[in-house]
Amino acid sequence: MKNEIFNILKEKYNDMSKGHKKIADYLLEHYDKASFMTASKLGSTVGISESTVVRFATELGFDGYPSFQQSIRDIMRTRLTSIQRIEIASTQIGNEDILDKVLDLDIERIELTKEQTSKKEFYSSVETILNAKKIYIIGSRSAEPLARFLNYYFNVMFEDVKLLNASGTSELLQQLFHIDKNDVVIGISFPRYSKQTAIALKYALSMNANVISVTDSEFSPIAEFATHLLLARSDMLSFVDSFVAPLSLLNALIIAISIKKQEDLKSNFERLEQIWDEHDVYEKSKD
């Protein structure tokens, strides 16, 4: 449904009532603005009642207006340019306090992630990573900091971890040259989705490697290549992507694995603490 909504609008257009055609016309031309409008606001914008907007959504096959609105948002997030995102930010926040609004939205995303993430997939991912001979991690563009964060901690926990450089397709695939069924690739991608990440995961799957896709939706381009799918809600606010919920999910993944590898980690950190102390890595307390 999420990928086909605009085609459905066009197919059903001729059979729509006058009021429903007004909504369809507005959505097809201004889906970016409509995705953040309440049913009441959308109705007043096109000159019809709120109840007509709700009926429009249900007649398209949705449970109600909220699920219809979310489907528009999911598509919208993959299409908007950075300039369009900036323009929408003022509409989404309005005159509210920016600090409170942003924090409230991030809290909501974590709650939705908690509801959305499959515990079975999560713990299966933990076991897959623990049993892997080699771990590859990829996340490009705005998702790159998430990949680097995961890589930082995994390098303390495992002997063979590689952060893939997604600078070009041939170079990327060359880094995966030795991958096989004993390895795992963790791909991280959120709207606007990176083609390079999808290419890497597709290749890994073709080589029978395990693939863990960390993304926002089962309709994500990297979801189809996943042997394990971990979902976390992200969203856009202005030109900035909110990765609070994905980061929280990765934190949970790291902690779950650390508990399983507790004895190894103690040994690793004892050695690291000696190195850090010898090379004066951290500020020491003056007390």
In a domain, 97, yes or no: no
In a domain, 14, yes or no: yes
> Could you identify the residue written with the tokens 């001979």?
133
In a domain, 93, yes or no: no
CA 234 to chain centre: 5
In a domain, 40, yes or no: yes
**Structural domain for 37, as ranges:** 5-79
Could you tell me which residues are beta bridge partners of residue 138?
187
Q: What is the CA radius of gyration of the chain?
A: 23
State whether 137 and 18 are in the same domain. no
**CB–CB of 227/211 below 8 Å?**
yes
State whether 53 and 167 are in the same domain. no
**CB–CB of 185/136 below 8 Å?**
yes
* Boundary of a domain, candidates 31, 54, 79: 79
In a domain, 244, yes or no: yes
Per-residue pLDDT, 85 = 58
In a domain, 84, yes or no: no
Q: Which two tokens stand for residue 91?
A: 């509409």
Per-residue pLDDT, 266 = 75
State whether 129 and 217 are in the same domain. yes
Give the total number of structural domains in the chain: 2
**CB–CB of 209/141 below 8 Å?**
no
State whether 75 and 117 are in the same domain. no
* Boundary of a domain, candidates 56, 79, 102: 79
State whether 33 and 119 are in the same domain. no
Per-residue pLDDT, 128 = 98
Residue 45's CATH number: 1.10.10.10
Per-residue pLDDT, 1 = 40
- Taking the C-alpha atoms of residue 20 and residue 42, their distance in angstroms, rounded to an integer, is 12
CA end-to-end span of the chain = 62
Per-residue pLDDT, 158 = 94
- Taking the C-alpha atoms of residue 242 and residue 35, their distance in angstroms, rounded to an integer, is 17
Per-residue pLDDT, 130 = 97
State whether 274 and 208 are in the same domain. yes
- Taking the C-alpha atoms of residue 217 and residue 181, their distance in angstroms, rounded to an integer, is 25
State whether 161 and 259 are in the same domain. yes
Per-residue pLDDT, 265 = 78
Residue 201's CATH number: 3.40.50.10490
* Boundary of a domain, candidates 27, 58, 79: 79
Beta strands in 21-131 (DSSP E): none
Per-residue pLDDT, 86 = 55
Per-residue pLDDT, 129 = 98
In a domain, 87, yes or no: no
Per-residue pLDDT, 281 = 76
Mean per-residue pLDDT pooled into runs of 10, the chain (287 residues)? 65 89 84 79 92 91 84 66 56 67 86 90 97 96 94 94 88 94 96 90 97 91 95 71 91 95 78 77 69
**CB–CB of 198/224 below 8 Å?**
no
In a domain, 181, yes or no: yes
DSSP 193: P
State whether 122 and 224 are in the same domain. yes
State whether 176 and 125 are in the same domain. yes
